[in-house]
Amino acid sequence: MSVPEESNASCACAAATSPRRIAWEIGELAVGFGFILAVIWTPRPLHHWLSFIALGWFMISISLSFEGWRAMGCCVAGFWRSTWVVGVAVLMAAVATFFAASFHTLHHPGRPEQWLLAFGGYTIWALLQQLLLQGYFLARLLRIVPNPNIAAAVSAFVFALAHLPNPVLTPLTLVWGLTACLVFVRSRNVYPLAIAHAIFGICVAITIPAAVLHNMRVGLGYIDYSPSQLDLTQIGRDVSK
């Protein structure tokens, strides 16, 4: 499979990057991933404070090396080129929902307003995750690693590590992370990936029992999960029923 001109430009940029710049960007990636791990593995209330610190770090780091919204995939160009990902996500979600209904594991909020309450915030979170994965980690790795496929694989591996020890989300995010990064290398647009991410995530939440998925939690939250805790798909319901 041929690599588009944009990918070749990324490789050329990586080759021309100075050792000092490479060292700085490796440091950015290490610190950023360290903050992510700290947030998901730290108990409350320190967890909340670390979340704000991590957000501040990413905002400062991005602003210091900001190359424009297009470089982060926030643009119109390349959107239609990668919308096929959304179609695949819809098709796979439909198949998974059919089988979940057949095996009586399907559970969903119910009314439209309950869907919005349960998954509206998650949809925004899906976009933020893709911005971090492609616009931050992959963008820097493309400037460090000459081969875009290796950069995509490393980004996907890091993405999956952030979902440990969830036995469902970890392998799924490895596959999705690699797919999304490879698509981004060709299209340079994050919006279709965010839409597909939201569809996949909601599908997983409503088709896999909370006892297995632990309400889509990762890190310490997965370990500390209690079956009595409110499921994402039950938000807005009377849980006493």
Which CA distances in Å does 186 have to 4, 77, 86, 173, 182? 6, 11, 16, 20, 7
pLDDT value, residue 208:
94
The secondary structure of residue 215, as a DSSP letter, is: G
**Residue 240: inside a domain, yes or no?**
no
pLDDT in tens, 104-119: 999 888 778 888 888 8
**Residue 155: inside a domain, yes or no?**
yes
Q: Which residue has the tokens 């000459």?
A: 146
Instruction: Please check whether residue 166 is in contact with residue 214, taking contact to mean a CB–CB distance below 8 angstroms.
Output: yes
pLDDT value, residue 116:
85
What mean pLDDT value characterizes the chain? 87
CA distance 101 to 95: 10
- Give the closest residue to 163 by CA, choosing from 43, 56, 51, 41: 41
pLDDT in tens, 67-103: 888 888 999 888 999 999 999 999 999 999 999 999 9
pLDDT value, residue 31:
96
**Residue 241: inside a domain, yes or no?**
no
**Residue 204: inside a domain, yes or no?**
yes
Percentage of the chain lying above the pLDDT 70 cut = 87
pLDDT value, residue 198:
96
Residues whose CB falls within 8 Å of the CB of residue 151, separated by 6 or more in sequence, listed in order: 138, 141, 142, 144, 145, 181, 185
**Residue 239: inside a domain, yes or no?**
no
Instruction: Please check whether residue 206 is in contact with residue 195, taking contact to mean a CB–CB distance below 8 angstroms.
Output: no
Report how many domains make up the chain: 1
CA distance 113 to 125: 18
Residues whose CB falls within 8 Å of the CB of residue 184, separated by 6 or more in sequence, listed in order: 73, 82, 134, 138, 152, 190, 193
Q: If residue 165 lies in a helix (H) or strand (E), which one and from where to where?
A: none
Domain span at 23? 5-234
Is 16's pLDDT higher than 90?
no
Residues whose CB falls within 8 Å of the CB of residue 81, separated by 6 or more in sequence, listed in order: 186, 187, 189
**Residue 101: inside a domain, yes or no?**
yes
Q: Which residue has the tokens 């190359």?
A: 67
pLDDT in tens, 214-240: 989 999 999 998 876 555 554 433 322
**What's the number of CA atoms in the CB half-sphere (13 Å) around residue 101?**
8
**Residue 56: inside a domain, yes or no?**
yes
Instruction: Please check whether residue 186 is in contact with residue 82, taking contact to mean a CB–CB distance below 8 angstroms.
Output: yes
**Residue 228: inside a domain, yes or no?**
yes
CA distance 194 to 189: 10
Record the tokens describing residue 126, joined without a space.
Answer: 């899906």
